[in-house]
Every structure is written in C-alpha cells, then in structure tokens.
Structure 1
Amino acid sequence: MEMGKGEKSSGEVEAVASKFPLSVCEMAVASTVVLGFVVGLLCVYLTMPASDYSFLKLPRTLEDLQILRDHLESYTSDYTAQVLVGYCMVYIFMQTFMIPGTVFMSLLAGALFGVFKGVALVVFTATAGASSCYFLSKMIGRPILSSLWPDKLKFFQAQVAKRRKRLLNYMLFLRLTPTLPNTFINFASPIVDVPYHTFFLATLVGLIPAAFVTVRAGLTLGELQSIGDLYDFQSIATLFLIGIVSVTPTLVGKSKP
C-alpha cells in the first residue's frame, strides 16, 4: 500500500526518535524532579508577604544581582527561613540541571549572610545540587552525555580508570582546578563509575576554596565591575593556599605505609 505525503515509514520514525536521547520513562523522571522544585518554590512564595516580586529572577549580570540583593536585604531579617529555603532550592535546581549562573548565587550569599554563613550555605547547596545531579544522571544521564560530549566523556572515563587507586586525589584535583567544568563532573561521574562517597567528599572539600573567594567578594558587590574582578592576585593566592590545606590530609593519608 502506498503511503501519503504526510506519512513516514517506521524506519524514518525510529531515526527521528533516536535523535532524542531520552526515553518516555526518563523524561517522566526528569519532569517529576522539575515539578518537585516548582512546587517547593511555590510554597515558599505563598508564605511570603504580599508584595511586588517582579525583581525575582535569576541574575545574569552584576546589575541584576545588585537589584536582587537590594530587595532581598529587607526580607532576609524578617523572613530568614523563607529566604534560606528559596535560595537553597534555586541553587540546587540550577546545579541539578546544569543551569549556568551559580557564581551569582554565591556572590548573593556573601552579600546577604556574610563570609562564614555564606560559605557554609554555598558549600551545602553546591554539594546538595551536585549530588542531585549525580543521582539524576545515574538514571538518565548516559544517553545525554553520549550525545552531547562523547569525546570529553571518553577522556574522563580513561582518566578515572587510570587513577582508580587514588581516585579521591584526582577528584579533588578536578574540583580545585578548571581542568573539567564542575557541571560536567557532576553529570559524568556516575557514568564513569566514580563511587558516590568519593564524589561527595571531593565535592564537599574541593568546593570550599572557590566558595570562600566568591562569597567574600559578595561583601563588596558594589565595587565589582565584572566577574573577572573576583580573581585578583590576592584571591588567587588565597585559593591556592586553601587548596593546599584541603588536599594535604589526603596526601598524608596516602603516604602512610
């Protein structure tokens, strides 16, 4: 029987379907996670006082961030719990789905909560978001990574296999240096068989130096002209020293007989 002009053969349908990396079940999992975050943020929004919240948006520039900081400062003292929960959910959501812009969220933590509370908040949310991304990727990540970054995935897999005996050292090295993007590490780690306990410890410790530098810069948000101003000589020196302190316990432990 002849096919009409608008019809496609089964082979063509399969070819179209194969271009989309996720199955129906995998899409359902991802959609459920998104829905959970949306419901949580909606609950936070409903518990805040009636006001104009048009300023609430993901900051993409330092100007956006300064506007957001100016508005949230008045809410933070009276509605601390709601602001904290909302901040954590947004940061974890961005980390889970590899949405760029978490550096602005780290700056915001410093501006609103100060250095020590800000660093603790950023490390907690960044680690939680990375863990969320890790487990989501474990369920649906392989087809996406194989489709988007096949060469980078092969490189990472080979490096992990080669350094299996000292994997924590290698993962700490990756967190402390820009060898591979953190978002890629989060998503690819379960695919290349990095154990979660190693992933978690390297993330928790390895993110502290960068979090400290970024959060501290948030205290003087008005003086920043660009994101590049975060990494002046003093910041880089601080990052380097904290990185050594972070890695030293692991190196000492490995050197013991």
Structure 2
Amino acid sequence: MAPQGDDAPVERGGKGYWRYLPFLVVLAGLAFGYAMGWHRFLSLGYLSESSGALLAMVADYPVAAPLLFFVVYVLATAFSFPAASVLTIFAGFLFGWLQGGLLVAFAATLGATFLFLAARSAFGDALRRRVSGPAARLADGFEENAFGYLLVLRLAPVFPFFVINIVPALFKVPLRSYVAATFIGILPGTFAYAWLGQGVGSVLDAARAAGEEPSVANLVTPEITLAFVFLAVVAAIPTIVRTVRGRLARK
C-alpha cells in the first residue's frame, strides 16, 4: 500500500537527496586528493624533478604508461583538479604532441562528461527553474544553440577548464551537444599545449639552472593566446548571426 499523509513527502524528499550523491563524491574526491597532497604531482615543478624517471617508465611500459596517464587525466578532470594545462604539457613531453594530444582529447572529454552529468543530476533542473531576468535570457540562448555557445567557450580558454565543465549542467544542454562541443572545442588548445610539452625540456633545464619554479606562463606566448582568441571569434560568428536573425524575426 502506498504511503499516505505525512509519510509521502518524506519519501519523495529522501529520494530527492540521492541526486546530490555524484556531486558529493566529486567534492569528496577533490578534498581527499588535496589532503593526500596529490596536487603536488600535477605541476611543472614535479615534471622537472621527475622527468628522467617518467621518460624511463614510458620507455619500459609503452602500453601501460599511456593507459595509466589516460586514467589519471580522466580522474583529474572528473574530480575538478585545476591541472588541465599542466597535464596536457605532461602528455606532450612524455608521448609526443600527436599521441599525447589524442590521449588528452579523449580523456578530457570523458572526464568532463562525468563531471557534467554529476552536476546536472544535482543542480541542473533546480537552478534553471530559479533563473529569471537577463540570466534567463542568457540561459534560453544557451539552450537554443548549446553547441555553438559551448564551442566558443571551449575554444577560448578564458575560463578555467573545470568551470566550463560544470556551467552547461545548469542549463538544458543535451548530452550529445556537450560531448561534441567539448571534444571539438578542446582540440586546438590540446594540441597546442601538447606541442609546447614536446619541447618543454629546454624550459625545465633553464628553470633549474636559474633556480626558479617552472610555470605554464613560461611556455605560453602572446601569439598562442591571440590564436585561441581568433579561433573563438570565428566560431562565434554563426551563433551571433543566428541570434540576430532570431531577434529580427520576432520583431
């Protein structure tokens, strides 16, 4: 017999709390990783100190090493560790720009998708119903052309990677559009950073000789940044044209 009276709302509320579980797992995993100090391994400083041992491991385990790296990248992305750029440089350094770039493209997309699903399960519908005013119009535009909006955000690395993984979950972005825009949108940046990683050895040597901590800023040139911006502008043109046409048609 179905519960009645005061029992029914309690059951529905109890079931509702389960939607937060995936996102709570993400937060718990992130906190646990920092508590264990694993974030120290996701830095160019660690790569500089351990480059010889890492290259030897890749040479000794040509199949297991890429698989292990793939799993680490998926987990780091899914648990929102802010290390996408550094890990992509790792990939280029360890496996070369082509293999490293491909590993990162698939691993980043998979990890981002896990995080997107966790955030959408926990917050998507509830937050979307509470949005109003300009934010609601932005949400409507995002939902009407989710692929175009997300592609632009992926191409221009203005916001941290883990932020863009979560934000689309607050809107009604189809999973297929999210995966496609993520994979295509990160390809230019992924291969650019993997290419930088392929030649990062000289930068690490110079930093060690100067007694400095190597950083991503030492590698990224203004030309690369401008290239990302140009790609984002080009990708935004169809979305802008479609939006303007839609507004003119409604007048």
Q: Displacement, 1:73? A: 0.9
Q: Which residue of 2 aligns with 1:79?
A: 61
Q: Structure 1, residues 92-127: CA drift from partner, whole Å, max 9, x if none?
A: 111112111122111110001111111111111111
Does residue 234 (structure 1) correspond to residue 223 (structure 2)? The answer is: yes
Does residue 170 (structure 1) correspond to residue 113 (structure 2)? The answer is: no
Aligned mate of 2:169, from 184, 187, 190: 190
RMSD: 4.0
Does residue 109 (structure 1) correspond to residue 98 (structure 2)? The answer is: no
Separation in structure 1 between the aligned mates of residue 19 and residue 233 of structure 2, nearest angstrom: 40
User: Structure 1 residues 156 and 183, CA, compared in 2 at 3 Å: closer, same or farther?
Assistant: farther
Q: Which has the higher contact order (CA 8 A, sep 6+)?
A: 2
Contact 1:145 1:153 in 2 (8 A): no
The amino acid across from 1:81 in the alignment is V
Q: Displacement, 1:227? A: 1.3
Matches within 5 A, 1:7-86: 25=18, 29=22, 58-86=40-68
User: Structure 1 residues 240 and 178, CA, compared in 2 at 3 Å: closer, same or farther?
Assistant: closer
Number of equivalences:
209
Q: Displacement, 1:29? A: 4.2
Q: Which residue of 2 aligns with 1:128?
A: 110
Q: Displacement, 1:213? A: 1.8
User: Structure 1 residues 24 and 192, CA, compared in 2 at 3 Å: closer, same or farther?
Assistant: closer
Separation in structure 2 between the aligned mates of residue 153 and residue 102 of structure 1, nearest angstrom: 33
Q: Structure 1, residues 28-49: CA drift from partner, whole Å, max 9, x if none?
A: 546778999xxxxxxxxxxxxx
Structure 2: gaps (5+ residues): 1-15, 30-37, 204-213, 244-251
Name the SS of the counterpart of 2:173 in structure 1: coil
Name the SS of the counterpart of 2:170 in structure 1: coil
The amino acid across from 1:190 in the alignment is A
Aligned mate of 1:92, from 50, 71, 74: 74
Q: Displacement, 1:210? A: 1.3
Q: Displacement, 1:61? A: 3.5
Q: Displacement, 1:83? A: 1.4
Name the SS of the counterpart of 1:76 in structure 2: helix
Normalising by structure 1, we get a TM-score of 0.65
The amino acid across from 1:233 in the alignment is P
Separation in structure 2 between the aligned mates of residue 89 and residue 129 of structure 1, nearest angstrom: 9
Q: Displacement, 1:222? A: 3.0
The amino acid across from 1:108 in the alignment is F
Name the SS of the counterpart of 1:193 in structure 2: coil
Structure 1: gaps (5+ residues): 1-22, 37-55
User: Structure 1 residues 27 and 238, CA, compared in 2 at 3 Å: closer, same or farther?
Assistant: closer
Separation in structure 2 between the aligned mates of residue 246 and residue 153 of structure 1, nearest angstrom: 28
Does residue 205 (structure 1) correspond to residue 167 (structure 2)? The answer is: no
User: Structure 1 residues 153 and 252, CA, compared in 2 at 3 Å: closer, same or farther?
Assistant: closer
The amino acid across from 1:169 in the alignment is G
The amino acid across from 1:106 in the alignment is T
User: Structure 1 residues 93 and 58, CA, compared in 2 at 3 Å: closer, same or farther?
Assistant: farther
Contact 2:70 2:107 in 1 (8 A): yes
Contact 1:111 1:215 in 2 (8 A): yes
Q: Displacement, 1:228? A: 1.1
Q: Structure 1, residues 188-226: CA drift from partner, whole Å, max 9, x if none?
A: 322311111111111111111211221111112233342
User: Structure 1 residues 123 and 248, CA, compared in 2 at 3 Å: closer, same or farther?
Assistant: farther
Q: Displacement, 1:239? A: 3.5
Q: Which residue of 1 aligns with 2:32?
A: none
